[in-house]
Amino acid sequence: MKQGMHVIGTAVCVLMAVAAFAGTPGDATIEGKYLEVRSCDVYTGACTASSEVGLTGREAVLAWDITKGSHQGVNLAGLKVVAIVRASATLGPTSGSVYPAKSVVVVDEKANAAQREALLAFAKEMAGRLLDDVIYVEAAPIAMAIHQPEQGYARLTAGDKVAIETRSLSESDSHCGNEVIYYGPLTRVYNATAAHTELDRFSGAGLGLTWSNSGGRSAWLATFSN
């Protein structure tokens, strides 16, 4: 699995559960903001996470809001792309493989034909093998707002298939007092902040299931630079 980082350690403060890559983005050709929501907690107690391995956490939504730059020579500034993934096992540090994985990709309806192809190629490059089997690609209006990633607030809609809302973690979200950053983001990002998921809904076809979840400590807000 292409996973940009994995951290298991003590979180300094539940209000700011942060994971970051070493180094700096460097000379990037494309950059922007990133949102990821999983079907299991990413900020959780190790005992809880271990009891859920193989039972939950196979689904994820990965979304990129490209603020500037190009991919494969195509300007993608101002465009967005969303990937909805269903893996064969819990997306995290497990003993078994998460593959094969299936996915559905939504590209920004504002993109022209060349940009739509480039958006798909960009998402595949960022997510790696998670997007090896794309069931279908659909163009739809995508609205994504992450005003300040470090504060945990985000909102995403992708057509009528995806709806996500997150908020910052608070002391009330620490259920056992031993929570850690257990599952890192699934793709290479910077300045990642764990957040509480108020809504995580997928109502599309192609993955063999739909879902509507709430109440999990299951989101990542970050920036990307590639």
Q: Is 45 exposed, middle or buried (0-12, 13-18, 19+ CB in 10 A)?
A: middle
Q: How many folded domains does the chain comprise? A: 1
Identify the pLDDT of residue 17. 59
Residue 200: inside a domain: yes
Tens-digit pLDDT string for the chain (226 aa): 333 333 333 233 344 455 543 334 555 689 999 999 999 999 888 877 877 787 889 999 999 999 999 999 999 999 999 999 999 999 976 556 899 999 999 999 999 999 999 999 999 999 999 999 999 999 999 999 997 777 899 999 999 999 999 999 876 666 565 778 899 999 999 999 999 999 999 999 999 999 999 989 999 999 999 9
User: Which DSSP string corresponds to 103-153?
Assistant: EEEEEETTS-HHHHHHHHHHHHHHHGGGGSEEEEEEEE-EEEE-S-GGGT-
Residue 80: inside a domain: yes
Residue 7: inside a domain: no
For the full predicted model, state whether its pTM sits above 0.85.
yes
Residue 150: inside a domain: yes
Please answer whether residues 185 and 19 qualify as being in contact, where contact means their C-beta atoms are separated by less than 8 angstroms.
Answer: yes
Please answer whether residues 189 and 4 qualify as being in contact, where contact means their C-beta atoms are separated by less than 8 angstroms.
Answer: yes
Residue 81: inside a domain: yes
Residue 3: inside a domain: no
Residue 104: inside a domain: yes
CA distances for 15 relative to 40, 60, 83, 107, angstroms: 19, 23, 28, 33
How far is it, in rounded angstroms, from Cα 158 to Cα 212? 15
Position of tokens 């300007």? 75
Identify the pLDDT of residue 6. 31
Residue 59: inside a domain: yes
How far is it, in rounded angstroms, from Cα 224 to Cα 19? 13
Q: Tell me which residue range forms the domain holding 181.
A: 14-225
